Structure 1
Amino acid sequence: MSKAAKNEETKFFNTGTTKDPFVFASGNTLPGITVAYESYGRLNADRSNAILLFHALSGSQHAAGVTTAVPHTDERWTKDIHHGWWDLFIGPDKALDTKRYFIICANYLGGCYGSSGPASINPATGKPYAGSFPPVRTSDVVQSQLALLDHLGIQKLHAVIGASVGGLLAINLATLHPERVKLVVPIASGCRTTVLTRLTLFEQVLAIENDPHFQGGDYYEGKAPEYGLALARMISHKTFVHLDAIERRARQDLKQGGDTLSWYRVQHNVESYMLHQGKKFVKRFDANTYLRIADMWLRFDPLRDAGVSSYEELFARSAAAGQHYLIFSIDSDFCFYPEEQAELVSHLEKAEVSNMHITVHSDKGHDSFLLEPQLYTPHLAFTLDGRWNKASVDRTVQEVE
């Protein structure tokens, strides 16, 4: 984090009315929704330099600089998230150069950091929506953020970038609305939900659902399902961080008489580390939001959303729009395995979509995209600058260390 990190402020965009409600893919409606977002850099005169950034599962609109408070987040805006989650990548002369580009990052619909979500107040009752908040699909998030872009007067994005689950959203936007974006950058992501991911996410859903305090999501007037949310985070955390990195990060001096569960006594530094991660997470996140995003991920289906029957037909839309894809793999990724990006590239090639596939060599696992800008910046800058279009080959596969 830069010592001179700029102070940033979350802004709020409202859309929908009682007469013209926001309609979810499920058919549910809300009379209005709020989208919390931050922006960095300046929009140029013809509004052609905008980049939309989709955050990961537990991320927020706060991608760069320092934001010390966000309205309507209760006590969830902890010190752990005061610094932007992609600050290493956003700023003057960084990968997303704010001297050249206007970067927008918004909290997902269903989120807990200012966008409308289960913890938001239902105007009809004066209480949180809680369990009654509609299920959210990637197309709903895309729809809400396109409404924000319309509000800002941005008709076509220079690029859409998404890491992890954010990459699924980037692909969804690019294929549902190919006329709205030129460059598509999925980082450590894929084009479908694999069986392994489905099982891992389902375990997390069960962890929260089986917490006795969950109460079907209607827990805001009582005790939150902290145990279930902590367990869900622990299940996911081991896919985000390489196991060797977990061992390195874990406390080396576990104190005698460590945490005791009902019967089991925590007796290893790795156990203590994971328990600490779970306990820390529940202070800054909401279980209902976690379920909405996990459910969105589980039900991700770009073919259904686009009304097509094959990936070749799906990505033919990208080809017709002249889009270019930059796909990043991380060779130590246990969340979105490199085979998933290879599958995406195969579909793109069959549809004759221009693409570049980069494999990053890292010992940090899925979290590499948060921690190692030196491995991504040259390729991001190359693509955003348009130099890919001047290359003498249609597709380049590179490896970086």
Structure 2
Amino acid sequence: MDVRTQFFTYGEDAESRLLLHDGSDFGPVTLAYETFGTLNPEKDNAVLVYHALSGSQHLAGTNPAVPGVGDRWDVSCRTGWWDDFVGPGKAVDTDKFYVICANYLGGCYGSTGPSSINPENGKPYGGDFPQIALADIVDSQLPLYDELGITTFHAAIGSSLGGMLALNFAARYPERVKRVIPVATGLASTTLTRVHNLEQILAIENDPNFCDGHYYDGPPPLRGLALARMISHKTFVSLHHMEARMTDRCEQEQDEFSWYKIRTPLESYILHQGRKFLRRFDANTYLQLLSAWTGFNLVRDMGCTDYREVFADCGHQEYLLFSIDSDCCFYPEEQELLRDELRGAGLKVDYVSVSSDKGHDSFLLEPELYTEPIKRMLEKENRRATPGSVLCAQAGLS
């Protein structure tokens, strides 16, 4: 399945600019997006997918290049990040559904972000790009849905950071979605998440090449970005999976250390994870998304007193939650809290506990553990779970 990125631009005049959470407005905004399947005449078979932290609009199939992205669209980007899940006959069946995924505002894969040219001065925005919230990312995509004529989505799906966006969309615009499928996510950033994110932010900001975000005409903050990715990577994969992927090689670049010498495969592996990220991502975008993630809190963001009030208008929605038992990025307790708060608000919720040794990244690697519940939810054939029940998904079973 060969696909190409499409682009939608708005906000070129004062009336259509994007209103941000801080009360300022911003524009123009270009969104890079891809679609899969066919939108039916009733326009009621659309499924919205939000990508994870370092993902892109390229959900499935093969896309060899994205205009304006250049070398950042490397070989690791060309196959869709959810290719095993989206397509004919797959979990999200493109023979039945019209699927859309957009790169986020602040992104680096074709949507307007810090590396985009500021029309006011002809230079990249860099550190002058507004500091965005997850709600801004959600709001920035609404004009695209209107342009496509999609009033209400059949479902919204999001994994990890994308799950928080799906929850934000469902709570703030309840009339625009019927089914919500959050995968390995939570209702708010936890204390541990905020600590990890601050470590990553400081790693980038303390790189001497960062220059307050204005580094596009000079050397980029590669060492800071690599360190940030190393800090985060240990939360994305389980230790067992990390050990299984290590090789026997021990290597380091000359400028990485002056005194310490790499001497174990584990050290070499984690350095490799940091290095390869540099080829495909932008440090300013990483900062923007980390900051937005850190600040996510639905109760506060919506000016509510509790989650019952947050989901008060969502009674028509159905939820399918996935939790991964080895996840140490979004621990299972976060999904259990989400389940309990949704049920406390009177909503219909199915809860799937995935048993995996691959950690948080299971949602990218093991379609067999997710496909059947997703298909049941999307195709209205799932049996409703009674309060307190748990559906289990193990290797080869669901």
CA separation in 2, counterparts of 1:391 and 1:63? 29
Distance verdict in 2 for CA 1:256–1:142, change over 3 Å? closer
CA separation in 1, counterparts of 2:177 and 2:252? 56
* 3-state SS of 1:387 partner: coil
Among candidates 351, 355, 367, match of residue 357 of structure 1: 351
CA separation in 2, counterparts of 1:114 and 1:283? 16
Question: Which segment drifts farther, 246-255 or 136-145?
Answer: 246-255
Aligned to 1:400: 393
Aligned to 1:198: 194
* 3-state SS of 2:14 partner: coil
Question: Which segment drifts farther, 50-59 or 306-315?
Answer: 306-315
Aligned to 1:314: 310
* 3-state SS of 2:312 partner: helix
Contact 2:327 2:359 in 1 (8 A): yes
Distance verdict in 2 for CA 1:231–1:46, change over 3 Å? same
Aligned to 1:234: 230
Cα deviation digits, residues 230-278 of structure 1 (max 9, x gap): 0000000000011111111111243699985121111110110111111
Aligned to 1:15: 10
1:141 partnered with 2:137 = yes
Cα deviation digits, residues 174-233 of structure 1 (max 9, x gap): 000000000000000010110011101110001001000001100000100000000000
Distance verdict in 2 for CA 1:316–1:83, change over 3 Å? same
CA separation in 2, counterparts of 1:309 and 1:135? 25
1:179 partnered with 2:172 = no
1:218 partnered with 2:214 = yes
CA RMSD of aligned residues (A): 1.5
Deviation at 1:40, TM superposition (A): 0.3
Residue identity over aligned pairs, in percent, reads 51
CA separation in 1, counterparts of 2:388 and 2:50? 25
Q: TM-score, normalised by structure 1?
A: 0.95
CA separation in 2, counterparts of 1:160 and 1:49? 11
Cα deviation digits, residues 23-71 of structure 1 (max 9, x gap): 2112232231001000000001100000000000000000100111001
Matched residue type, 2:393: V
* 3-state SS of 2:390 partner: strand
Contact 1:260 1:266 in 2 (8 A): no
Matched residue type, 1:150: D
Q: How many residues align?
A: 393
Q: TM-score, normalised by structure 2?
A: 0.96
CA separation in 1, counterparts of 2:332 and 2:85? 22
Unaligned runs of 5+ in 2: none
1:331 partnered with 2:320 = no
Distance verdict in 2 for CA 1:126–1:311, change over 3 Å? same
CA separation in 2, counterparts of 1:256 and 1:121? 35
Matched residue type, 2:320: L
Matched residue type, 1:379: P
Paired residues for 1:10-159 under 5 Å: 10-20=5-15, 21-159=17-155
Aligned to 1:346: 340
Matched residue type, 1:163: S
Contact 1:63 1:105 in 2 (8 A): yes
1:248 partnered with 2:244 = yes
CA separation in 1, counterparts of 2:276 and 2:212? 23
Contact 1:91 1:98 in 2 (8 A): yes
Distance verdict in 2 for CA 1:256–1:187, change over 3 Å? closer
